[in-house]
């Protein structure tokens, strides 16, 4: 899959700059911190942070008491996460492959945005298979109705990825088709140029 190779190479290239950009981002986003706090409070059992990048969200969930480990497509991101958070577990992996399980929770926080529409059902099937019965899934994503081609990224480095902006109702429908039931559906900053969508769902 060319898009997968392009995504891996792009995030290997920008890993350090991306980590600098996102390291303190949660401090400026109270509603997102609240969503992550709710996820940590409601999840039971091990958690897989899929598309964890440099590990900031993984570490935040760990600080909130979650038994969390990170998975990312980019070896450079994983190497950086391991150096930054040596007490946490990080592995190279792809959401397009079966996930290690069973787990009580899966979180994909702005990592589904590069997955083409046609591949999303396969990814959701992997999430469901990894989850224990009634396991909790949290998704964060850009809201919109378009796909942007990103050719330059963090620190001005070259990238070659598609960024898919989707409506929460569309993502929720895909989840229901995959055997999930929706618990919550939010839009953060709906007046922003690119709002943020958050969905919580349980394995049915």
For residues 97-118, average pLDDT: 97
Residue 141 reports pLDDT greater than 80: yes
Residue 191 reports pLDDT greater than 80: yes
Give the pLDDT confidence score for residue 82 in this predicted structure: 98
For residues 42-70, average pLDDT: 98
Q: Are 147 and 121 in contact (CB under 8 A)?
A: no
| CATH number, domain containing residue 81 | 3.40.50.150
CA distance 45 to 40: 10
Give the pLDDT confidence score for residue 153 in this predicted structure: 79
CA distance 161 to 14: 12
- Is pTM, for the whole model, over 0.85? yes
- The arrangement of strands across the sheet holding 180-188 comes to 89-92, 68-72, 47-50, 103-109, 131-142, 196-203, 180-188
Residue 155 reports pLDDT greater than 80: no
Q: How far is CA 115 from the centre of its chain?
A: 11
> By residue range, what is the domain housing residue 14?
2-203
Tell me how many domains the chain contains: 1
In DSSP terms, 184 is beta-bridged to 200
pLDDT digits (tens, 9 = 90+) for 72-88: 999 999 999 999 999 99
């Amino acid at each position: 899959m060319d898009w997968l190779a392009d995504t891996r190479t792009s995030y290997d290239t920008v890993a350090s700059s991306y980590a600098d950009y996102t390291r303190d981002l949660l401090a400026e986003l109270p509603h997102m911190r609240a969503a992550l706090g709710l996820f940590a409070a409601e999840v039971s059992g091990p958690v897989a942070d899929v598309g964890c990048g440099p590990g900031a969200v993984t570490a935040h969930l760990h600080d909130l008491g979650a038994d969390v480990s990170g998975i990312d497509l980019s070896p450079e991101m994983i190497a950086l996460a391991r150096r930054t958070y040596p007490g946490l577990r990080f592995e190279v992996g792809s959401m397009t492959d079966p996930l290690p399980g069973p787990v009580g929770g899966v979180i994909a926080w702005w990592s589904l945005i590069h997955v083409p529409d046609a591949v999303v059902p396969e990814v959701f099937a992997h999430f469901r298979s990894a989850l224990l019965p009634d396991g909790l899934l949290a998704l964060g994503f850009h809201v919109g109705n378009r796909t942007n081609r990103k050719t330059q990224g963090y620190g001005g480095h070259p990238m070659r990825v598609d960024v898919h902006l989707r409506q929460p109702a569309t993502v929720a429908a895909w989840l229901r088709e995959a055997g999930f039931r929706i618990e919550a559906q939010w839009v953060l900053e709906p007046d922003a140029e690119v709002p943020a969508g958050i969905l919580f769902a349980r394995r049915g």
